[in-house]
Amino acid sequence: MSLPAKKYDVFQAIADPTRRQVLRLLAEKELPISEITSHFPISRTAISKHLKILSEAELVIGRKVGREKIYRLHPEPLTELKQWLSYYEQFWSNKLSVLKHVVEKEEESGLQVVRSKEEMERSSGQ
């Protein structure tokens, strides 16, 4: 009896450039489907499908108002992305973080680490 099993996760949802643009739009303000569509060269139906996918990923929330369906941004699921990313941050970002890991390994191995001020500055440059 597994859970509903969302068909679209955040990673898939943001993989498409059109959907990313839609998110940007909705970040400005909530909009009905027709208005969203007016920003794109594709059909209203296509946009509707993108919205359904974003909706399944819970990146947007739609509510019906009269004959319109108004969507707004719901950014919370992006935290999952952020967490995923955070794992890799240790590997790139500034050279300092690389140094940090070298140091941690050296500390684990019981070595004493001494670096000069000059070395620090060389390492932290972009």
42 touches DNA by CB under 7 A: yes
Q: Judged by CB under 7 A, does residue 62 bind DNA?
A: yes
Residue type, 25: L
CB 74 within 8 A of CB 80: no
Q: Which residue has the tokens 């643009």?
A: 21
Residues whose CB is less than 8 angstroms from the CB of residue 89 and which lie 6 or more positions away in sequence, other chains included: 97
Structure tokens at 117: 């001020």
> Given candidates 24, 44, 100, 105, which one binds DNA under the rule CB under 7 A?
44
Among 12, 21, 97, 123, binds DNA (CB under 7 A): 12
| Residues forming the site for DNA (CB under 7 A) | 7-8, 12, 15-16, 18, 32-34, 37, 42-46, 48-50, 53, 62, 64, 66-70
